[in-house]
Amino acid sequence: MNKTVANADIAINDIRDNMTLMLGGFGLCGIPENCIAALVKKGVVGLTCIANNAGVDDFGIGLMLHKHQVKKMISSYVGENAEFERQLLSGELEVELIPQGTLATRCLAAGYGMPVIYTPAGVGTEVAIGKEVRKFLVEGAEKEFLMEYAFDADFALVKAWKGDTQGNLIFKGTARNFNPMMAMAGKTTIAEVEELVPAGELDPDHIHLPGIFVHRIFQGVNYEKRIEQRTVRKKDL
């Protein structure tokens, strides 16, 4: 039951070229920084990355984009990364933009073992091109729903505030974001934590994600806790 590994390099050792990865986080909050750094160091290429966003130019998934390691991004928001924009417009990077709720629910579907979901988001737009649309009776009226497949990811890379050696995780504040649902969805889930404690030390009532979903866990180092867009109030005169 002890799922600990020494560091990020060991944790991601069997991630190979052309795999599909889920990466938790929202903006720069709750991203698996150590795992990303290890992937950059390893130099794997041809990756399909499922993440809410692509980081910024010098941090997060943006580091992988600069090394041309990412073949395709499946994301909801990508507006803070100039290199992402350049690669998209030049045709170097394939991009699938999807509604944020659809991104979350496709993660949940994978975790729950559901092959598809039906959502009204995207019906009648470019998102629906080539996809099946069905009508369901909702509140006495027929409504169209778009069929979306659950994600199929080789690995999920997530970050938590605290975890134990059995993989039980506690997230802190908004850093929880996409991490729990992606941890449920990956064939192999790697969790990095700011604090790793022995099994039994965490209060069961406080655990956000049970260890059954986590395959490897390690204590990360050198977390930067950056702020993507710093906004401050003007000084009162």
CA distance to 44, 68, 78, 89, per residue, from 85 (Å):
21, 13, 8, 6
Range of the domain at 120: 116-149
- Whether the per-residue pLDDT at 27 is higher than 90: the answer is no
Is 236 contained in some domain? no
Q: What is the DSSP letter of 235?
A: P
Same domain for 75 and 175: yes
Q: What is the chain's mean pLDDT, rounded?
A: 94
Same domain for 134 and 33: no
- According to the model, what pLDDT value does residue 237 have? 59
Is 234 contained in some domain? no
DSSP E strand stretches across 150-223: 155-164, 169-170, 188-197, 216-219
Percentage of the chain beyond pLDDT 70 is: 100
CATH number at residue 30: 3.40.1080.10
Query: In this predicted model, what pLDDT tens digit does every residue of 171-199 receive, in sequence order?
Result: 999 999 999 999 999 999 999 999 999 99
Same domain for 44 and 26: yes
Q: What is the DSSP letter of 53?
A: -
- According to the model, what pLDDT value does residue 134 have? 96
Same domain for 145 and 62: no
Query: In this predicted model, what pLDDT tens digit does every residue of 191-227 receive, in sequence order?
Result: 999 999 999 999 999 999 999 999 999 999 999 877 7
Same domain for 172 and 56: yes
Is 227 contained in some domain? no
Number of separate domains in the chain? 2
pTM: 0.92
DSSP reduced 3-state for 219 = strand
Same domain for 174 and 124: no
Which H helix or E strand runs over 118?
A: strand 116-119
Same domain for 163 and 79: yes
Instruction: Identify which of 171, 223, 168, 230 has the alpha carbon closest to the alpha carbon of residue 200.
Output: 168
Query: In this predicted model, what pLDDT tens digit does every residue of 133-181 receive, in sequence order?
Result: 999 999 999 999 999 999 999 999 999 999 999 999 999 999 999 999 9
Instruction: Identify which of 48, 46, 50 has the alpha carbon closest to the alpha carbon of residue 150.
Output: 50
